[in-house]
């Protein structure tokens, strides 16, 4: 499912059941996604191999994740050890984070997870949904995509997120594309779509 045309975005834009309260506590504790401004600690970029389409591939053996980002974007070292990748460029960024939920989520109980991710996004602070969350599959992993704007304390303007919650057994994979100002999301949606579709789970 794409963030662009399939989302209808406008520029103006458990194999085990767990009690909702306990699940919310688990999820909110596990997926506290920190905005780019709180994660960035500049560091020299890695020397990845370039590809013909100007993307480079990031592989993380620890989490078993592989994903591409624009070759011109630089990788920076995040402060959060659960963030596997943080890459920035041209006023935008992408973040990949993993967390152990302690409970399995799959297609058969994805509805439970959605209730939790809904609550998380609402708790993010001044988040305004641009459309209803949509069920997606990236790299064979089920999840949900949220498009929303948020208030940036660092710049005083509104930014936008294309925010994926993906589930791989007991692991939550969070993929967040961020840009400021929020109006840029319409133009960047095709790029974010392409990057999201490069996500692949790899042998751990």
Burial 131-143 (b: 16+ CB within 10 A, else e): eebbebebbebbb
Q: Is residue 47 part of a domain?
A: no
Q: Is residue 48 part of a domain?
A: no
Q: Is residue 172 part of a domain?
A: yes
Rounded CA separation 153/112 (Å): 32
Determine the pLDDT at residue 115: 85
3-state percent helix, strand, coil for the chain, nearest multiple of 5: 25, 40, 35
123-147: per-residue pLDDT in tens? 776 899 999 999 999 999 999 999 9
Identify which of 129, 116, 150, 122 has the alpha carbon closest to the alpha carbon of residue 29.
116
- The range of the structural domain enclosing residue 14 comes to 5-41+54-201
**Domains contained in the chain, number:** 1
pLDDT at position 48 over 70: no
Q: Is residue 125 part of a domain?
A: yes
Average pLDDT, integer, range 78-83: 90
Q: Which CATH number fits the domain that encloses residue 107?
A: 3.40.1000.10
Mean pLDDT across the chain, nearest whole number?
78
Q: Is residue 193 part of a domain?
A: yes
Q: Is residue 170 part of a domain?
A: yes
- Ranges 24-33, 100-109, 136-145, 167-176: which has the least confidence: 24-33
pLDDT at position 183 over 90: yes
Q: Over pLDDT 90: what percentage of the chain?
A: 56
Question: What is the pTM (predicted TM-score) of this model?
Answer: 0.74
Rounded to the nearest 10 degrees, the angle between the axes of helix 20-30 and helix 110-122 is 60
Q: Is residue 49 part of a domain?
A: no
Higher pLDDT, 162 or 27: 162
Determine the pLDDT at residue 6: 39
Rounded CA separation 97/82 (Å): 6
Say which residue the tokens 């589930």 belong to: 167
What band does 47 get if pLDDT is binned at 50, 70 and 90?
very low
Q: Is residue 21 part of a domain?
A: yes
146-176: per-residue pLDDT in tens? 999 998 776 778 999 999 999 999 999 999 9
Longest dimension (CA), the chain: 49
pLDDT at position 69 over 50: yes
């Amino acid at each position: 499912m794409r963030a662009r045309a399939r989302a209808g975005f406008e520029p103006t834009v458990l194999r085990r059941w767990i009690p909702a309260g306990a699940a919310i506590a688990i999820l909110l504790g596990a997926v506290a996604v920190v905005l780019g401004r709180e994660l960035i600690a500049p560091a020299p970029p890695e020397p990845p191999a370039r590809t013909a389409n100007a993307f480079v591939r990031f592989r993380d053996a620890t989490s078993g994740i592989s994903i591409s980002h624009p070759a011109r974007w630089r990788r920076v070292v995040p402060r959060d050890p659960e963030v596997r990748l943080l890459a920035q460029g041209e006023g935008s960024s992408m973040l990949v984070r993993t967390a152990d939920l302690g409970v399995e989520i799959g297609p058969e109980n994805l509805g439970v997870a959605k209730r939790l991710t809904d609550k998380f996004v609402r708790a993010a602070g001044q988040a305004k949904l641009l459309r209803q969350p949509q069920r997606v599959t990236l790299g064979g992993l089920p999840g949900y995509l949220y498009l929303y704007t948020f208030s940036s304390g660092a710049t005083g303007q509104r930014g936008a997120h294309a925010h994926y919650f993906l589930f791989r057994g007991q692991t939550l994979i969070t993929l967040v594309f961020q840009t400021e100002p929020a109006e840029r999301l319409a133009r960047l949606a095709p790029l974010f779509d392409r990057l999201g579709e490069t996500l692949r789970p790899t042998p751990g």
